[in-house]
Structure 1
Amino acid sequence: MSSQNLKAAAVFSNHMVLQRDKSICIWGTYKSEPTNNVITIELASNKTKTTIHEGTWSAELPPMQAGGPYVMTITDGIETITYTDIMIGEVWLAGGQSNMELKLQDSKNGKEVVASVDPTLSSKIRFYNVPQQSYFSEDFYTVEEATSWELCTPETCGTWSAVAYYFEKNLATTLDVTVGIIGCNWGGTSASVWTSKEYLEKDEDSRTYLDEYEKEYSQFNSYDEYCSAVEEYDAWYAIWQKKVEELYATDPDILWSKVQEIAGMNRWPGPIGPKAFFRPGGLYETMLSRVSPYTLRGFIYYQGEQDDCKPTIYGKMLRLLISQWRNDWKDDTLPFLLVQLPMFINQEEEDKKNWPQIREHQMITHQTIKNTGIAVISDLGEYNNIHPLEKEEVGRRLALQAFYHVYGMEVPAYGPIYKNRIIRENSIELRFEHANDGFLVKGDSIIGFEIAGENKEYVSATATIEGNRIFVSSDEVTEPRYVRYNWTNYGPVTLYGKNGIPMSTFRTNRDA
């Protein structure tokens, strides 16, 4: 419940999950001049006090072990806020774009999973969705205050992130604690959207997102002109999208070029300006910052598709984002678990080999930044579908990363990851981490290796497995120097670890 003057941040509600074994941050606002400047917060047997400063307040409760349900009260001595059914457990934030956003009910077997959700999970896994608001509209705070934590029931969990659902289900089952997810994601968003303008200004490459925004927005003579353009676009899009849906309903295999020929050219995502969800720094302000610094165990993050237009700088963007989020949560050690992009290409689309560059940057980020993990899912992509429906395995592989890196469990969390190479007389020997047990080949043969000499002109290569090493060669390259594997937007995935997790995309030299 809320009150007239005293308010806690919208992310606090009945059924919430608070992070175990860490100091618990609570914060909020005070509308008018307080009669009593002291706020008292009680949770179970813990009590703390804080003062109101310029209309805001914050406090920390001492760490607690997993348990509950508990009741929390927040009072100024006149007004009291009470929250019930609070559990102490594990809390993660699920960030990213559409593949993190994709709803459980829309995923593979999702409707059946939702309808038959295990009743024992009802209070064991919980979810809070940050409302998708792209700017501070007149009803921004009303919409935000209407949100709350949800229990897992057939009536609620269908709209949860599918990846996050399977991730927290694995955690809750294995750790035997209540797990809560804060969903903070929006389809079609660049990493720049989830990073503050101040951080984007730090580097000339990341600053290009701001420069391009200013250039596009400056084409409007006024804010009112921009708003009129948004209204026109919204009306057009509603009609256009209906036509598109009708075309696909009639012919699911219709070519995208034919769809646009009939329905009209795609104008998504619309005019760029202060209301646009895709403007740099926008959702950082209107979504991420609204739940910061809610005490967490860590982040899971599935994003990168929208940045394939600038693949060479994605590593910088990802490092900036991780630094920003950890700084906002005042913890440089917060775990950050990435989902590496899968195989994907649209029908009629040229393979620009920009997605393997994104995958490479994701892997390098994992290998060079402390307390990060990576779920390799190259085998879970779909041709002509940027939103692959298999999300259960994505969540499971993320959970394996959490068990391995965060909870100290000895689990097979990785497939083979390239380590180094030795140049032989007419072949290249490759060595790998997480391949002590050797490799698993799916299909009739190993596909995806290419080899090149000093000219860096790659040709298809033969790969031979010898224990935990792979030898790559080609009759066309007598003096080999470089190897790459699955350096393509979309292609077959044939090499795995014995645990069924695929080998990640790699190249032996980043300049070749």
Structure 2
Amino acid sequence: MNKMGQIFADYFSDNMVLPANKEIRFGGTVKPYTKVLLSLEKVTIETSADSRGEWSIEFPAHAASKKAISIIGKSGGFSQIINNVHFGRVFLFAGQSNIEFKLEDEQHFENEKKIYQNDSVYFFNVPQIEFFDKRRNKKRPTDLKKGQWLLATRDNIGGMSAIAFYASKVLARDYEGPIGIVDCYKGGTSASCWLPLNLLKESKVLNDHFIKPFEDAILNKTKADFDQEDLNYEKKVKNHQNSLLEYQKKYPEKTLNEVKDVVGHTPWPPPMRPESYLRPGGLFETMILQIKYGTFNNVVWYQGENDTENADYYEELLSNLINTWRELFRDKSLPFLLIQLPGYEDGIDNTWAKIRQVQLRATMKIPYVKLCSISDLGESHNIHPTDKKTPGIRIGNILQENQYAETPGITKMCYEANRLTIIVSHALTLSFKNNTQFVVKTKGNKVESLFSANNFAGNKIEIDLPQGAASVEYGFINFPNLGIFNEFGLPLSPFRIVIEKEKARLSK
């Protein structure tokens, strides 16, 4: 008689959702070279583990069904059963703090908790392992629980990503089958944390900018040195918090934005140490590889805030991340939905605008990459807006393609006889709100602002430019005042276009 034991990777647990109508990959770790038999309904497939004990099996596509099934794995006299498995649609939500932002901290949570009813949304929070000590076989933090798939209920939705929660409500409303949400995020992180270390080292630019500074920061330091640096940082944070509280007590009528204008923001980042989760390649190793056998319908990537200082390198980071994850998940056409950063005043030198430009360019250069701009949202001095309902619903509508598969963006541009013509995708008509302007810079760096109100015809924008125009910008600042929307009220993505040799192109 078979004994029960672990055969599947932790990602595979009771109550999970798998994508319907796609080949499904299963995997895990057993004794090296032992056989593994996997049974799903009437189909059984056999394979053997490799020298490290790792195994994987791909199963044929399975139709969507509300009927739950069980999956049975057997190996070396042991068996493991995954019960209550559903086939529907599965979405990976990944990135940093704004997608990590929990529903329990979101401004509409109490009302959502009262009214929430659900029998079709399930979620899996990937454990936030920061470091794995292979020599001692220990994980940090040491108190992390194993991840498990859960049916979303009033009692546990507070632990979901707020944005993923609101998106899942839209998806569940408009799709008859089960919805699976996989949350994989960690606040304060660069995209370099989510890439393999060897890939970063292979690029001279990324190696010089991310790997070498990390190595220099930890070089020739003892544990005592690292601990002292941490104490000094904690003292700075505590002093900042005290200053914040004192100022708020003295001026209770002031908003948080106004307070931060005076006392500044929480010190960040903390000092680097070898086991820091902020190290290059760290979270790819400790978090993404936990779900390497996953199969997904879409990836929602909301990140970039911590790379605003790395804006010149973000295009290479982002394209590598998309390609690497597609390779890991064995899906070359895996769709990515990039969440274009919201407005935020405090970045320097339009760095937030530069990240948005990279995100826009990625949708034009990389197949199966789409954009959801939330650049019309955000708070001027609060990097973590507490309204996640508005962006979450927008993301859900785009994933479900209720209106369009993405927000409006440039699909074509032409420059001729001092006239710039822009064709906008995902819009039949464009409307003008607010006092939005196109900012035109000439070769002598003279700035002229042209109002956009009379430049529309359907989804076309035409701008007559002065002689010697070098660039045209729309919303290309950290906290833009966007005023161009499609018929569903979705914002046109901010952009910067350069004019060179009588031709127009998106700037880097």
2:413 is matched with 420
Q: CA deviation at 1:142?
A: 7.4
**Cross-structure match for 1:448:** 437
- CA shift, 1:298, in A, is 2.4
Change in CA separation of 1:470 and 1:26 when aligned onto 2, cut-off 3 Å? closer
Residues 332-383 of structure 1 show CA distances to partners (whole Å, capped at 9, x for unaligned) of 111111001121113xx6x511111111110110111001111011111111
Q: Secondary structure at the match of 1:278?
A: coil
Give the direction of change, closer, same or farther, for the CA distance of 1:247–1:42 in structure 2 (3 Å limit). farther
One-letter amino acid of the counterpart of residue 353, structure 2: P
- For 2:326 and 2:32, locate their aligned partners in 1 and report how far apart those are by CA, in whole Å: 33
Aligned twin of 2:378: 381
Contact 1:374 1:401 in 2 (8 A): no
* 1:214 pairs with 2:211: no
Q: CA deviation at 1:467?
A: 1.6
Instruction: Write the mapping of 1:180-329 to structure 2, written as runs, cut at 5 A.
Output: 180-207=180-207, 208-218=209-219, 220-222=220-222, 224-225=223-224, 227-229=226-228, 232=231, 236=235, 239-240=238-239, 243=242, 246-247=245-246, 250=249, 251=252, 252-253=255-256, 255-256=259-260, 258-259=262-263, 267-329=267-329
Between the aligned partners of 1:227 and 1:40, the Cα distance in structure 2 is 48
Q: Residues 146-157 of structure 1: matches in 2 within 5 Å?
A: 146-157=146-157
Whole-Å Cα distance in 1 between the matches of residues 364 and 398 of structure 2? 13
Unaligned segments of structure 1, at least 5 residues: none
Which residue does 2:472 correspond to in 1? 483
Task: Give the 4+ runs in structure 1 shifted more than 6 A.
Answer: none
C-alpha spacing 1:14/1:240, structure 2 compared with 1 (3 Å): farther
Answer yes or no: is the 8 Å Cα contact 2:342–2:375 preserved in 1. Answer: yes
Partner residue in 2 for 1:133: 129
Structure 2 matches for 1:32-111, cutoff 5 A? 37-54=34-51, 55-67=53-65, 68-76=67-75, 78-111=77-110
Select the residue among 490, 497, 501 that pairs with 1:508.
497
8 Å CA contact 2:353, 2:476 repeated in 1: yes
2:110 maps to amino acid: K
Task: Spell out, residue by residue over 1:154-177, the C-alpha distance to the aligned partner (whole angstroms, 9 max, x if none).
Answer: 111111111112222222222211
| TM-score, length of structure 1 as denominator length | 0.86
Q: Deviations over 1:277-332 (max 9, x none)?
A: 11110001000111112111121100011010021221111001111111111221
1:496 aligns with 2:485: yes
CA contact (8 A) 2:64 2:177 kept: yes
Alpha-carbon separation, structure 2, partners of 1:57 and 1:422: 55
Q: Once the 2 structures are TM-superposed, how far is the Cα of residue 484 of structure 1 from its aligned partner?
A: 1.1
- SS of residue in 2 equivalent to 1:147: coil
Give me the TM-score of the superposition, normalised by structure 2: 0.87
> How far is the alpha carbon of 1:131 from its aligned partner?
1.1
- Would you say the 8 A contact 1:454–1:481 is kept in 2? yes
State the alpha-carbon separation in 1 of the partners of residues 54 and 425 from structure 2: 49
Distance of aligned partners of 1:33 and 1:380 in 2 relative to their CA distance in 1, 3 Å threshold: closer
Structure 1 residue 191: deviation in Å?
0.5
- Judging by fraction of residues, say which structure has more strand: 2
**Structure 2 unaligned residues grouped into runs of 5+:** 499-505
Cα 1:41–1:143 shift into 2, 3 Å:
farther
**3-state SS of paired residue (2:392):** helix
Conservation of the 8 A alpha-carbon contact between 1:449 and 1:484: yes
**Structure 1 position 201, deviation (Å):** 1.9
2:503 counterpart residue number: none
Matches within 5 A, 1:426-441: 428-434=419-425, 437-441=428-432
Greater mean deviation of Cα atoms: 91-100 or 250-259:
250-259
Q: CA deviation at 1:33?
A: 7.4
Q: CA deviation at 1:81?
A: 1.9
Residues 248 and 198 of structure 1, relative CA distance in 2, 3 Å threshold: farther
Worse overlay, 489-498 or 455-464: 455-464
Distance 2:234 2:456 in 1: 61
AA aligned to 2:345 is: I
